[in-house]
Chain A
Amino acid sequence: MTVVGGDAGGLSASPPPNSVSRLVGSGRADDASRSPGRSGLFRGAARVAATLPLLALAGTITILTVKALPSIRVNGLHFLTGSAWKPGSTYGATVRTNGVEHPLGASYGIWPLIVGTLQTSAIAVVLAVPISIGAAFALTERMPTWLSRPLSLAVEILAGIPSVILGLWGVLTLGPFLAQHVYPLVADHVPDVPVLRYFRGPTGHGEGLATSGLVLTLMIVPIITATTRDLFRQVPTLPKEGATALGMTDAETARRVTVPWVRTGIVGATVLGLGRALGETIAVAMISGAALNSVSANIYGTMGTIAAAIVTQLDSAYTDGTGFAISALAEAALVLAVITVGVNLIARLVISRSGRLTAPVGRSG
C-alpha cells in the first residue's frame, strides 16, 4: 500500500517552506508552557505523541538486534556475502558454534537476496523517474482542469491499490501477458553484446526479476508523479513566462527552468520511492518466485528479495527448534531496516537542503 506525498494526498496547495507561522507558533509555545493546567497537559501529551516514532524506531532496531545476536555470532560477515540459505538438518542433531545451539549444517547467507532487492528496486527507479516526470508535466502543463483532475485522481488511486491486489494482478494477468507477448520479442531482438546480453535467454512464464521490477515501478510511479506534480505547481509562473517570452518551446522551458527549479525535490521523491521499492513484501513474494539461493541469470529469471524471504520463510523457520532460523530472519530484517533507513536518511538530507518537500512519502506493504 502506498502513500503519496502528503501534498499529493490532496493538500496540493503549496506548503510554504518553513513558514513564518512556525516562528510565531514557537513564540506562543513559550506562553503555553508558562500557563499551567489544561494547556500544559495538552502540551505534555502532544510531546509524548511526537516522541513515539523515535521510541518505535529505537525499539525496532533494539529488538531486531537482540533477536539477531545468535545469527550474527555464528554467521558473521558470511551472512552478507554468502549465497546459501541453509536451514541445516532441522530434524537431526544440533551442534554449538560460539556458544549458540543450531541444527547441524545450518548457515545463512543473504547475498542473493541483497542483490535481488537492489536489482528490482533499480529497475523500478530507472523506469519510474522518466515516466513520473513526463506524467507530471502532462498533468500540470497545458492540460485543462476537467481532464487533469480525474487523471490526477487516477494517479492517486494507483497509489492506493493494496499491494496484495497488485501482486495478484501481477502474477495472474501481467506476468503471463508479458511472458507470452513481450519478453520473447525482447529476448530475440536484443543484440548479443555485453550488458544487453542480460536481456537474452529463456524468458520463463512471467514470474521473476523483470515482472517484479515492473510491478514495483507501478507502485512507485504514483508516489514520484504526485510529488513531482506538486513541485511543478510550486514553480513560480514568472520565470516560466519569461522563458516563453524569450521564445523557448515548452520542452526547452521544462529542461532549462522547471526541472532545475525542483531538481532536489525530485531527487528526494525518487529516493523515497526507492525506499518503498526496497521494502515491498507481499507483491514481490507473489511475483518474484521468491527464490532464496540464486541470483537470476538474466532479467527474466526468478529471484528473491529480503522482504519477500522474511514473509515466506517465517513459517519454515519455526520448525527449527533451536530458534536459530528465526534469529537469521531477524538479522535479515535488521539488514533490510538498515538499508531502508539509510536510504531514507539520504532522502531527508537531500530534502532538507531543498527545503521543499515537507511530508513523508512512501510506505511499504
Chain B
Amino acid sequence: MTRKTRGKRLVPVFVLAAGLVAAACGSSTASSSTSTTGSGGTSAATPLSVEKPPAATLSETGSTLLYPLWNIWAPAYQQKFPQVSINTAGTGSGTGISDAANGTVDIGSSDAYLSHSQLSSDPTLLNIPLAISVQVIAYNLPGMTAHVKLNGTILSEIYQGKITNWNNPAITAMNPGVTMPSMPIVALHRSDGSGDTFIFTQYLSKQNPSGWGNSISYGTTVQWPSVPGALAENGNGGMVSGCKHTPGCIAYVGISYLSQLLGDGLNYGQLQNGNGNFELPTPTAVAAEANYFTAKTPANGTISMVNGPVSGGYPIINYEYAIVNSHQQSASTATAIRSLLEWAISPTYGNSSQYLSQVAFQPLPPQVISQSTKQIAAVK
C-alpha cells in the first residue's frame, strides 16, 4: 500500500525524467540517469523484483508494432536468464489475442486492449500494459518543411473523400503562414487488420463523433469509405513505401517507422488534441498525454489514451499490451511468464531507454508499472 502512494507522489518527477531520456534519444548517459533517478528516488521507484525463472520455453506472437521490441527484449532477457528460451513472431494483434486465449502461445501482444466480447468469452485473459507507443500522421508534400497542422475532423473528411486537395480552405485556414500546394490528397489506409487502424480511427471517432464516430466508428478493420484514388497498404512498411511513391499522400504510421519515413522524404504533421492545441509527437507531448491518462488507467489496464483534453499532449498514443491467460496449466510456465513480464516493465531493464529508444517507444509511468505488476502477479 505504502509503495503505491509513494509511487503516485513520484509521478511528475518520472514523467519529466522519461521525457528527458527520450529527448536525449537513448545515449548512454541518459539511460544511466534513468537508473540513478530510479534508485536514488526511493526503493519504491523500482517496486518490482524480477523473479528467477525455472528452465522453460516461452512463445510470444502478435502485434507487428511490438515485434521489433520483443526481438530486442528477448535476447537481453535470455542473457540474464539463459534457462528460458523465447520464441517471438509478428503475426498481428488479433492473432496474438486469439492465440493467447486458446493457449497456442504463452504471451500474445496487442496494440489494442481486449474488447468486451473477448473478455466475456475468455474472462481469465489479462491485458497488461508494457510500454507506450505513438502514432504519427505522415504525408508526402515535396518541398514542405513545416509540420502541417491537422485535426480529426479534417482527417475524417479526407478519409471520407470530402476534402480532396491539400489547398482545401479548411486546411489552409488551419495553417496560416504556410502555403499549401494545390495537390490531390491520396489517403492511405491499412489493408491488413491492425492496431494502428484501431487507434487512428479512435482519434477520428473522438474528434468527429457525429460524422466518423457515427457512421464508421473504430476497430482494427473498419469499413473504409470508397474514395477514388485512395490506397490500401499492407503493414506500416507498406504505408511508408506507398507514401514515398505517391506525392500528395497521407498515412498513419507507428512511431517506430519515424526515421524510415524521414529518410524517405516524408514529413509528419501536428495534431490537434482534445484541448484544442496542436502538438508534435515529441517525448514531452507524449509524456503529457500519458500523464493525464495515468490517473485514469483502471487496474486492468483497459483504456484508450487518444484525444485527451490536456494542454501540450500529443493526441494519439496507446499502451502496448501483453495478453496473458491468468490461469496457466503449468506453474513453471507461469513463473517464467511472470519473470519475463516483470523484467520487461522494469525501468532498470526492459523499460529502460536502452531498449525503448530503438523503437521510439516511451516507458510506462510508475503508477502503471505498479498496476501491471499486480496484473502480472495474478498469472498463476
A92 vs B94: C-alpha distance in the bound complex, in angstroms? 16
Is there contact, CB below 8 Å, between B231 and A292? no
Q: CB of B19 within 8 A of chain A?
A: no
A187 vs B120: C-alpha distance in the bound complex, in angstroms? 53
Count the A residues whose beta carbon is within 8 Å of the partner chain — how many? 45
Binds B, one of A81-89, A263-271, A350-358: A81-89
Q: CB of B209 within 8 A of chain A?
A: no
Binds B, one of A122-130, A200-208, A229-237: A200-208
CB distance from A318 to the nearest CB of B (A): 3
Is there contact, CB below 8 Å, between A206 and B232? no
* 8 Å CB contact of B120 from A172, A206, A302, A321: A321
Q: CB of B32 within 8 A of chain A?
A: no
CB distance from B213 to the nearest CB of A (A): 10
* 8 Å CB contact of B219 from A94, A179, A204, A319: A319
Binds A, one of B37-45, B109-117, B273-281, B345-353: B109-117
Q: Say yes or no: A312-B219 contact (C-beta < 8 A), given A205-B245, A293-B226, A319-B93.
A: no
Is there contact, CB below 8 Å, between A204 and B231? yes
Binds B, one of A19-27, A213-221, A282-290: A282-290
Residue of B nearest to A297 (CB): B228
Is there contact, CB below 8 Å, between B223 and A293? yes
Which of A86, A90, A93, A289 is most buried by chain B, counting CB atoms within 10 A of its CB? A90
Is there contact, CB below 8 Å, between B234 and A84? no
Q: CB of B67 within 8 A of chain A?
A: no
Q: Say yes or no: A91-B218 contact (C-beta < 8 A), given A302-B232, A319-B94, A321-B118.
A: yes
* 8 Å CB contact of A291 from B115, B121, B232, B245: B232
Q: CB of B217 within 8 A of chain A?
A: yes
Q: Say yes or no: A302-B231 contact (C-beta < 8 A), given A90-B219, A91-B218, A293-B223.
A: yes
Binds A, one of B191-199, B284-292, B329-337, B368-376: B191-199
- CB proximity to A under 8 Å, residues B8-40: none
Residue-by-residue, is A301-316 near B (CB-CB < 8 Å gives 1, otherwise 0)?
Answer: 1101000000011111
Which of A87, A92, A312, A319 is most buried by chain B, counting CB atoms within 10 A of its CB? A319
Residue-by-residue, is B231-244 near A (CB-CB < 8 Å gives 1, otherwise 0)?
Answer: 11110001001100
User: Which residues of chain B have C-beta atoms less than 8 A from A317's C-beta?
Assistant: 94, 193
A313 vs B94: C-alpha distance in the bound complex, in angstroms? 10
Q: CB of B91 within 8 A of chain A?
A: yes
Is there contact, CB below 8 Å, between B220 and A316? yes
Q: CB of A294 within 8 A of chain B?
A: yes
Residue-by-residue, is A88-104 near B (CB-CB < 8 Å gives 1, otherwise 0)?
Answer: 11111110000000010
User: Which residues of chain A have C-beta atoms less than 8 A from B191's C-beta?
Assistant: 285, 289-292, 304, 312
Residue-by-residue, is B83-94 near A (CB-CB < 8 Å gives 1, otherwise 0)?
Answer: 000000001111
CB distance from B103 to the nearest CB of A (A): 14
CB distance from A319 to the nearest CB of B (A): 5
A204 vs B232: C-alpha distance in the bound complex, in angstroms? 12
User: Which residues of chain A have C-beta atoms less than 8 A from B95's C-beta?
Assistant: 314-315, 318
Majority DSSP secondary structure for residues of B touching A: loop
Q: CB of A320 within 8 A of chain B?
A: yes
Q: CB of A176 within 8 A of chain B?
A: yes
A172 vs B116: C-alpha distance in the bound complex, in angstroms? 40
User: Which residues of chain B have C-beta atoms less than 8 A from A103's C-beta?
Assistant: 117
Is there contact, CB below 8 Å, between A313 and B116? no
User: Which residues of chain B have C-beta atoms less than 8 A from A289's C-beta?
Assistant: 191, 231-233
CB distance from A96 to the nearest CB of B (A): 12
Which of A87, A88, A176 is most buried by chain B, counting CB atoms within 10 A of its CB? A87
Is there contact, CB below 8 Å, between A321 and B234? no
User: Which residues of chain A have C-beta atoms less than 8 A from B230's C-beta?
Assistant: 294, 302
Q: CB of B229 within 8 A of chain A?
A: yes
Q: CB of A253 within 8 A of chain B?
A: no
A86 vs B219: C-alpha distance in the bound complex, in angstroms? 10
A320 vs B224: C-alpha distance in the bound complex, in angstroms? 18
Residue-by-residue, is B68-97 near A (CB-CB < 8 Å gives 1, otherwise 0)?
Answer: 000000000000000000000001111101
Which of B121, B219, B241 is most buried by chain A, counting CB atoms within 10 A of its CB? B219
A291 vs B121: C-alpha distance in the bound complex, in angstroms? 30
User: Which residues of chain B have C-beta atoms less than 8 A from A179's C-beta?
Assistant: 245
Q: CB of A12 within 8 A of chain B?
A: no
- CB proximity to B under 8 Å, residues A197-253: 202, 204-207
User: Which residues of chain B have C-beta atoms less than 8 A from A176's C-beta?
Assistant: 245
Is there contact, CB below 8 Å, between A87 and B245? no
Q: Say yes or no: A89-B221 contact (C-beta < 8 A), given A315-B92, A316-B194.
A: no
User: Which residues of chain B have C-beta atoms less than 8 A from A88's C-beta?
Assistant: 219
A207 vs B239: C-alpha distance in the bound complex, in angstroms? 12
Q: CB of A322 within 8 A of chain B?
A: yes
CB distance from A78 to the nearest CB of B (A): 14
* 8 Å CB contact of A90 from B98, B115, B229, B238: B115
Is there contact, CB below 8 Å, between A294 and B226? yes
Residue of B nearest to A320 (CB): B117
A205 vs B248: C-alpha distance in the bound complex, in angstroms? 12
Q: CB of B222 within 8 A of chain A?
A: yes
CB distance from B249 to the nearest CB of A (A): 8
Q: CB of B170 within 8 A of chain A?
A: no
CB distance from B30 to the nearest CB of A (A): 36
A90 vs B110: C-alpha distance in the bound complex, in angstroms? 15
A285 vs B192: C-alpha distance in the bound complex, in angstroms? 9
Is there contact, CB below 8 Å, between A91 and B233? no
A293 vs B122: C-alpha distance in the bound complex, in angstroms? 31
CB distance from A169 to the nearest CB of B (A): 14
CB distance from A230 to the nearest CB of B (A): 37
Is there contact, CB below 8 Å, between A290 and B224? no
User: Which residues of chain B have C-beta atoms less than 8 A from A318's C-beta?
Assistant: 94-95, 97-98
Q: CB of B246 within 8 A of chain A?
A: yes
List 23 A-B residue pairs with CB atoms under 8 Å apart, sorted by A's residue number: A87-B220, A89-B219, A93-B116, A202-B228, A204-B229, A205-B242, A207-B233, A289-B191, A291-B191, A294-B226, A301-B229, A302-B231, A312-B191, A313-B193, A314-B94, A314-B193, A315-B91, A315-B93, A315-B95, A316-B94, A321-B120, A322-B117, A322-B121
Contacts A87-B219, A312-B192, A322-B117 aside, 7 further interface pairs with beta carbons under 8 A come to: A89-B218, A90-B220, A292-B224, A297-B228, A315-B94, A316-B192, A319-B94
Closest 7 CB pairs of A and B: A316-B193, A321-B117, A315-B92, A318-B94, A290-B191, A321-B118, A318-B98
